[in-house]
Homo-oligomer: A and B are copies of this chain.
């Protein structure tokens, strides 16, 4: 059985505080804490690229598990801010880490739904091809494309990267997934001429409407009741968005952490950053994950703690 064995996280130390921008953007503290929920955003160094953050996340992962680099037989980088349009960033990371010749490497271009898609893809690709050690990296440094004068984006997005080891000795295995796309709204969150622009209201409406439906579909597909889920790890869009989803689904707030206050919305890294904190919590046996945003795209999945799988699937 293939699944998640460990997650490594890299969040740059440098922060830009939204409190330092109160005057510039006429922000009150309530807006910062209750609407955004982001007090500061993490920012990479100007000379760092997606591959550099990815390599740091890989070494954070290696600090947790014994992993021989030469055994890695699949490397995926989820990014929409690659080092170059071509080659793919995974090739650069592959070279930087000196991985082996037979390691399959490719990039997945997705935003906030990227970790959930990537997890389903790496698991199915590894199963089909008989692979043993896959590394799923998320690294989408939006500071490269954020206009620091645009309060819609610069107060919200933070830089980070994660590396998830997918192996045959998993801590979490996946149930059935759901995926969705509303392509006709593709321009709601877009990078044109190197600058990100976002229609925040449209993204909010999309998330508030579609995510609860998607979670309901996910639970039905897996034959589970919402009350049986221990944790809900949603993409961390903004605090207000998060609370709206949690409230519409009538989830106990403590089951659905909001963790972006000190680093921001890290796009495809938002879910694995929070997931890392649940890996060593044996009481957390079922975790719903859901990513949504750029595309517009959404994806959800359910993770079962390995020793609880049999019980969950055959109650």
CB-defined contacts of A125 to chain B, threshold 8 Å: 120-121, 124-125
A95 and B186 form a contact (CB under 8 A): yes
Given A86-B190, A88-B295, verify A101-B182 contact (CB < 8 Å). yes
Q: Enumerate chain B residues within 8 angstroms of A240, measured Cβ to Cβ.
A: none
* A96 to B127 CA separation, bound complex (whole angstroms): 33
A210 CB, min distance to chain B CBs, angstroms: 8
Asked if A87 is an interface residue, CB under 8 A from chain B, the answer is: yes
Question: Max chain B CB contacts within 10 Å: which of A88, A96, A178?
Answer: A88
Residues of B within 8 A of A94 (CB): 181, 183-184, 186
Flag whether A185 is at the interface (Cβ < 8 A).
yes
Q: Which of B99, B129, B299 contacts A183 (CB 8 A)?
A: B99
Contact, CB under 8 Å: B117 / A124: no
Query: Interface-forming stretch among A103-111, A225-233, A249-257, A282-290?
Result: A103-111
Q: Which residues of A does B touch, CB under 8 Å?
A: 75, 80-82, 84-99, 101-111, 117, 120-121, 123-125, 127-130, 145, 176-186, 189-192, 196, 294-297, 299
